[in-house]
């Protein structure tokens, strides 16, 4: 086990890597802890929950809404939860986003911690303090920024994570490599998904490195005025494709990253060889690099994207592999590239 402290303006979050779920007993008084998980994680990891009060949510993004929060609040009342209660979200990003939000509003805010159980949850969703729920088609429309007291990483949860969810999570890992860490990009090139799936040591080190990357970006810009926007690499076009084509998030972001590389070639001097390297790496991790999507529909959604400002769009581009920046692109230029280059 390795413990680290992540400092934010509001609090210090303790992170325990390569830890055992049973360690929860040392982090909070057992009788005050209420776990929140989803039905998949609960069914596949049943023995871990047997000793704890647990609220089990329906699984999936579809259920990441205010109803889930209401359900949690009802069950918290049944458990006689009070200001001393401690909520622990045990699940993927959907669970930790909802659990952090419910804990932040119940009795005006009680303590909470996270045990992320998906790759995406471990390297992305559980880090950075954003919690919330969707409202209809609007993702994460309602929420708060509040950090958990602790993050506990027990890699044995990954033994039951479906393969497609591993792939989904690796899209964010490749994203981190592209924007911040050329050495990690090279490491990913040397290894395969199977290597990481078969080695707790290797996946553990990779997760730790990615948590550090996300933490450093967030800590430099907790309230998203600058650097944090770099985490949107591949996500602007990715989200638009995710909406039109109903692809998994990781697949849409993968295609979005390829598109962002091509835009980087056209406006930022990023080399074509580097775009090819990014494509090869994504393919290696079973992520799509091209897709026959409805361009007009996707463009229309893009125009509604919040990153648009007047006749320009702020767009995350790569300077080189491992370094990104934000460029204001005139919509006319972006339109030209969008319809002619991919
Ligand atoms: N707060 C943030 O900063 C932030 C950042 C990125 C993403 N997110 C949010 O994260 C969510 C996506 O997270 P996700 O990809 O983890 O989705 P998810 O929570 O839906 O998990 C994916 C699937 O894997 C299952 N699962 C998770 N862990 C498992 C395990 N150990 N064994 C078996 N099954 C398991 C889940 O039940 C689910 O079916 C989105 O709602 C997104 O908005 C938040
Ligand atoms: Zn993402």
Does residue 309 register a pLDDT over 70?
A: no
40-67 per-position pLDDT tens digit:
999 999 999 999 999 999 999 999 999 9
Please tell me the distance from the alpha carbon of residue 262 to that of residue 256, in angstroms, as a whole number: 10
Distance 119 CA to ligand 2 centre (A): 11
DSSP 206-263: HHHHHHHHHHHHHHT-TTSSSGGGGGGTTHHHHHHHHHHH---HHHHHHHHHHHHHHH
Place 277 in a pLDDT band, splitting at 50, 70 and 90: very high
Does residue 225 register a pLDDT over 80?
A: no
Give pLDDT, residue 222. 77
* Nearest ligand, measured from the Cα of 242: 2
Give pLDDT, residue 226. 79
Which of 18-22, 24-28, 38-42, 223-227 is least confident? 223-227
Does residue 292 register a pLDDT over 80?
A: yes
Atom of ligand 1 at shortest range from CA of 95: 19
Place 140 in a pLDDT band, splitting at 50, 70 and 90: very high
Please tell me the distance from the alpha carbon of residue 216 to that of residue 7, in angstroms, as a whole number: 10
Q: What are φ and ψ of residue 113, in 5° steps?
A: -140, 165
Place 306 in a pLDDT band, splitting at 50, 70 and 90: low
Instruction: Report the share of the chain in percent with pLDDT over 70.
Output: 99
Q: What is the mean predicted confidence (pLDDT) over 101-120?
A: 98
Does residue 224 register a pLDDT over 80?
A: no
The whole-chain average pLDDT of the chain stands at: 95
Give pLDDT, residue 82. 98
Give pLDDT, residue 246. 86
What residue owns the CA closest to ligand 1's atom 29?
A: 161
Give pLDDT, residue 308. 56
Distance 60 CA to ligand 1 centre (A): 8
CB-neighbour burial class of residue 200 (10 A; exposed 0-12, middle 13-18, buried 19+) = middle
Tokens matching residue 77: 């009342």
Model confidence, pTM: 0.97
Which of 46-50, 83-87, 199-203, 298-302 is least confident? 298-302
Tokens matching residue 132: 């919330």
Distance 270 CA to ligand 1 centre (A): 32
Residue with tokens 């109803």: 67
* Nearest ligand, measured from the Cα of 133: 1
DSSP 19-59: --GGGHHHHS-GGGEEEEEEHHHHHHTHHHHTTSEEEEEPP
Q: What is the mean predicted confidence (pLDDT) over 67-87?
A: 98
Q: How many C-beta atoms lie closer than 10 Å to residue 72's C-beta?
A: 23
What length is written for the chain? 342
Pocket lined around ligand 1, Cβ cut-off 6 Å: 38, 40-41, 44, 59-61, 64, 91-95, 97, 117-118, 120-121, 124-125, 128, 130, 139-140, 157, 160-161, 165, 168
Do 321 and 274 touch, CB atoms closer than 8 A? yes
Does residue 305 register a pLDDT over 70?
A: no
């Amino acid at each position: 086990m390795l413990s680290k402290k992540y400092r934010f303006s509001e609090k210090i979050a303790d992170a325990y890597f390569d830890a055992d779920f049973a360690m929860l007993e040392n982090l909070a008084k057992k009788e005050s802890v209420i776990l929140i998980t989803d039905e998949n994680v609960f069914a596949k990891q049943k023995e871990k929950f047997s000793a704890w009060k647990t609220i089990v949510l329906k699984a999936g993004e579809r259920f990441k809404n205010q109803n889930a929060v209401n359900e949690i609040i009802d069950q918290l009342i049944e458990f006689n939860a009070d200001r001393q209660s401690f909520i622990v979200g045990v699940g993927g990003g959907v669970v930790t986003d909802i659990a952090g939000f419910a804990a932040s509003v119940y009795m005006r805010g009680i303590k909470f911690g996270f045990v992320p159980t998906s790759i995406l949850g471990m390297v992305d969703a559980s880090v950075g303090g954003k919690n919330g729920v969707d409202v209809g088609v609007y993702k994460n429309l309602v929420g708060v920024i509040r950090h958990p007291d602790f993050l506990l990483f027990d890699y044995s949860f990954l033994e039951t994570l479906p393969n497609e969810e591993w792939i989904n999570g690796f899209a964010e890992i490749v994203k981190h490599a592209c924007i911040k860490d050329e050495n990690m990009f090279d490491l990913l090139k040397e290894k395969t998904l199977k290597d990481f799936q078969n080695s707790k040591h290797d996946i553990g080190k990779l997760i730790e490195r990615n948590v550090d990357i996300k933490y450093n970006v967030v800590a430099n810009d907790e309230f998203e005025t600058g650097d944090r926007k770099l985490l949107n690499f591949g996500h602007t076009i990715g989200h638009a494709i995710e909406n039109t084509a109903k692809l998994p998030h990781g697949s849409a972001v993968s295609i979005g990253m390829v598109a962002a590389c091509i835009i980087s070639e056209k406006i930022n001097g990023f080399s074509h060889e580097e775009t090819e390297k990014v494509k090869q790496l994504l393919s290696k991790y079973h992520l799509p690099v091209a897709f026959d999507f409805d361009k007009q529909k996707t463009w229309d959604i893009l125009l509604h994207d919040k990153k648009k400002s007047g006749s320009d769009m702020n767009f995350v581009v790569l300077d080189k592999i491992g370094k990104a920046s934000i460029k204001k692109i005139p919509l006319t230029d972006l339109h030209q590239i969008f319809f002619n280059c991919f």
